[in-house]
Amino acid sequence: MSALDDEIGDLMRFAAQRSMLPRFRQLAAHDIEMKGANDPVTIVDREVEAFLTEALTRLAPGVAVVGEEAAHADPAVLDALSGQCWIIDPLDGTANFSEGREPFGIIVALADAGRAVAGWIYDPLRERFCHARSGEGAFVDGTRIAARTTGQQPPVTAVSRLFLTPEESRDVDARLAPHYTLVDIPRCAAEQYPRLALGENDISSFKRTLAWDHAAGVLWLNEAGGKAARIDGSDYRVDEQDRPDLVGASSPAIWDEFIARITV
């Protein structure tokens, strides 16, 4: 791993050990607030984001920081996504964490001109550290990996229904159930992207494509040899996060087959 990978990994581990793990299944009611439907925020989200924002600013003065909670408080923060910036999801899987369930994790990405150029995903319970840089491959705990499929027929497809209308959910079943084994998403991008490369899931479609959830994972999966892209085949950009049409797959062939089925 490079010095930067080591530095980011150390920061994520420290944040998890100091703020996250001691509070897992120990949150009080006043430690949790709701930003919207199905969208909680905890004291851990805010504490980890503050720590990482300060640390990354020291590491690279002059590079903007776009944190999930900062952007919620001030949407103008999102303007920095078109330039060079750090992107932070301080507690990915907050809903799981706030309910005392796993998985959850920390995600950091570095982007430039709207595209992720490096990404880091940390699972504090498994102590799994995924990282990637554009053009340099994908790694898990320092070992380069190649995406593998589940090998199952039909392929395993994880579909989020959280933000689907009942009509959209029925349409998903009608289109996909005859051709795929449908499973629930883990409600955690820090877990979903590794599942797509490590032989657990073959496909996942995403309704929400927020930069802090997807910037690092999209880069990591593509660097591993899987495929994550917009339904029209265009690259995911961190500054186009309002588009609801992102699909990740364990291989380009499986991605192509899935897109052909859903765009008929």
Q: What is the pLDDT of residues 36-67, one digit of tens each?
A: 777 899 999 999 999 999 999 999 999 999 99
What is the average pLDDT score of the chain?
Answer: 95
pLDDT at 173: 81
pLDDT digits (tens, 9 = 90+) for 206-256: 988 999 999 999 999 999 999 999 999 999 999 998 888 899 999 999 999
Beta carbons of 196 and 205 less than 8 angstroms apart: no
What the block records as the tokens of 168 is 């959209």
What the block records as the tokens of 211 is 């930069």
Closest CA to 87 of 189, 17, 159, 176: 189
Ordered by where they begin, the domains of the chain are 3-144 (3.30.540.10), 156-262 (3.40.190.80)
pLDDT at 175: 83
pLDDT digits (tens, 9 = 90+) for 105-114: 999 999 999 9
CA angle 169, 201, 114 (to 5 degrees): 80
Confidence of residue 78 (pLDDT cuts 50, 70, 90): very high
Give strand ranges (E) for 37-145: 39-42, 64-67, 85-92, 105-112, 115-123, 128-133, 138-140, 143-145
CA separation (Å) from 128 to 63, 91, 101, 142? 27, 15, 17, 10
Distance linking the first and last C-alpha atoms of the chain: 43
Confidence of residue 192 (pLDDT cuts 50, 70, 90): very high
Beta carbons of 205 and 247 less than 8 angstroms apart: yes
Q: How many residues does the chain have?
A: 264
Question: pTM of the prediction?
Answer: 0.95
pLDDT at 264: 73
Q: Report d(CA 240, CA 197) in Å as an integer.
A: 24
pLDDT at 166: 83
pLDDT at 147: 98
pLDDT at 169: 79
